[in-house]
């Protein structure tokens, strides 16, 4: 379940960096909760090919986030939105901007 949520979150952040074909297959698997066999039948490709595409997209998403770190920054910003202290909010935003 944790893996599912993790890749859904990464996909929402980085989906525009993926090819349309890969994005569609990944979304069917993680977003629509279709099995690899269902996707293979729907797209008229082999189940093995679906698995390869999903694995490749996972690796791309991991790599994008390793480089850009947007998932972590988004999570920090969500935490900041919950704060009431303006001084603390400014400090936390400055930390993010400085890459801390």
pTM of the full predicted structure? Answer: 0.78
- Residue 71 is encoded by which pair of tokens? 């998932």
pLDDT of 99 > 80? The answer is no
Cα–Cα distance for residue pair 41/59, rounded to 1 Å: 24
Cα–Cα distance for residue pair 67/59, rounded to 1 Å: 12
Averaged pLDDT for residues 75-95:
81
The pLDDT tens digits for 30-68 are 999 999 999 999 999 999 999 999 999 999 999 999 998
- Residue 100 is encoded by which pair of tokens? 């801390």
Angle, helix 2-14 to helix 47-68, in steps of 10 degrees: 70
Mean pLDDT of all residues belonging to the chain: 90
Q: Looking at residue 73, what is its pLDDT?
A: 85
Q: Looking at residue 100, what is its pLDDT?
A: 62
């Amino acid at each position: 379940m944790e893996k599912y949520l993790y890749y859904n979150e990464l996909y929402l952040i980085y989906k525009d960096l993926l090819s349309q074909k890969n994005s569609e297959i990944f979304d069917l698997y993680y977003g629509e909760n279709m099995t690899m066999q269902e996707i293979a039948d729907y797209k008229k490709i082999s189940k093995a090919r679906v698995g390869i595409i999903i694995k490749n997209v996972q690796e791309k998403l991991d790599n994008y986030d390793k480089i850009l770190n947007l998932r972590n920054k988004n999570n920090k910003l969500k935490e900041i939105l919950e704060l009431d202290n303006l001084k603390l909010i400014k400090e936390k935003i400055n930390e993010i901007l400085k890459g801390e």
